[in-house]
């Protein structure tokens, strides 16, 4: 492991590779305990999470549901519950995967908030967007989608005196692959420190369908390139990102891309600048 790899892994609290199934099961229990403690410490009983159809929200959602079920059993308080929210922009091209995720998660409550009208309404009011090229405007509007999805989740959480769950993990954090104050905004992030392969391993252990566990990851924010793979945006594979974070050798080009992107996205992982 290079000193830079060690520095970044430490900063992101990266979890070492699971030594065996016992370690995997222990990590699942640790994550559930974390979720339950967050609710207890906040004096609240409701969790909210947007379900996209990808493995990250699928895994976080199932952990959330299991956690509130355990809290109900441990306390006898039926008020503990998890709300899974669909947040499509119009008709989502992989809606079938999102619905399959919901069937697997088996949330206490499901809701749908279609953000298309809000995105278009805001876009029409922001004159600066009209001056952009199609590609640049598509990118900016993609960030608007991410931020409005989080607005919707916080609205639901506020209405129910609950907490919003985020799905960020180490393999996304190192690449700054989240929208600032969008999907990067949440009350608790139970997947933090895990690499992509570990998120998949947890999903498998929880019994998730294989096609969802190994689905090609995509943020799906750009209309000109619907379903654009994360790895294409990164310029490096998740396998290489995971290896980098676990201190294993990677290609020189991959090493350069990861460290450069980590440095350039530092502002996303820090509090706002202050004098």
Instruction: Please indicate whether residue 223 is annotated as part of the active site.
Output: no
CA distance 208 to 212: 7
DSSP the chain: --HHHHHHHHHTTPPPPP-SHHHHHHHHHHHHHHHHHHHHHHT--EEEEE--SSHHHHHHHHHHHHHHHHHHHHH--TT-EEEEEE--SSS-TTHHHHHHHHHHH--SEEEE---HHHHHHHHHH-GGGGGS-HHHHHHHHHHHHHHHHHHHHHHHHHHTTEEEB----HHHHTTT-S-TTTTT--SB-TTTT--HHHHHHHHHHTT--HHHHTPPPB----SSSTT-BHHHHHTS-HHHHHHHHTT----HHHHHHHHHHHHHTGGGGSPPP--
Bind-site residues: 50-57, 147, 167, 172, 180, 187, 196, 218, 267-268
Bind-site residues for Mg(2+): 56, 172
Instruction: Please indicate whether residue 172 is annotated as part of the active site.
Output: yes
Bind-site residues for ATP: 50-57, 167, 196, 218
User: Which residues fall within 8 angstroms of residue 131, CB to CB, at 6 or more apart?
Assistant: none
Given 56, 108, 183, 240, the catalytic residue:
56
Bind-site residues for deamido-NAD(+): 147, 180, 187, 267-268
Is residue 270 helix, strand or coil?
coil
CA distance 222 to 35: 32
8 A C-beta contact, residue 28 and residue 60? no
Given 27, 172, 183, 220, the catalytic residue:
172
Known catalytic residues are 56, 172
């Amino acid at each position: 492991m290079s000193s830079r790899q060690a520095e970044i892994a430490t900063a992101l609290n990266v979890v070492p590779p699971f030594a065996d199934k016992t370690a995997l099961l222990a990590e699942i229990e640790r994550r559930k305990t974390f979720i339950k403690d967050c609710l207890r410490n906040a004096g609240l009983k409701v969790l909210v999470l947007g379900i996209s159809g990808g493995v990250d929200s699928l895994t976080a959602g199932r952990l959330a549901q299991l956690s509130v079920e355990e809290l109900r059993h441990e306390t006898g308080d039926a008020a503990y519950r998890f709300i899974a929210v669909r947040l499509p922009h119009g008709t989502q091209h992989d809606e079938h995967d999102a619905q399959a995720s919901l069937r697997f998660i088996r949330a206490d409550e499901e809701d749908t908030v279609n953000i298309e009208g809000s995105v278009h309404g805001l876009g029409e009011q922001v004159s600066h967007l009209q001056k952009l090229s199609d590609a640049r405007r598509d990118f900016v509007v993609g960030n608007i989608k991410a931020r409005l999805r989080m607005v919707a989740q916080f609205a639901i959480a506020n209405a129910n005196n609950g907490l919003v769950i985020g799905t960020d993990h180490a393999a996304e954090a190192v690449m700054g692959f989240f929208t600032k104050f969008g999907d990067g905004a949440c009350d608790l992030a139970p997947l933090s420190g895990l690499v992509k392969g570990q998120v998949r391993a947890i999903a498998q252990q929880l019994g998730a369908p294989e096609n969802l566990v190994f689905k090609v990851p995509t943020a799906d924010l750009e209309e000109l390139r619907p379903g654009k793979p994360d790895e294409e945006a990164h310029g490096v594979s998740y396998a290489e990102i995971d290896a980098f974070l676990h201190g294993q050798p990677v290609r020189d080009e991959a090493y350069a891309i990861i460290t450069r992107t980590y440095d350039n996205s530092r502002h996303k992982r820090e509090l706002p600048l202050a004098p």
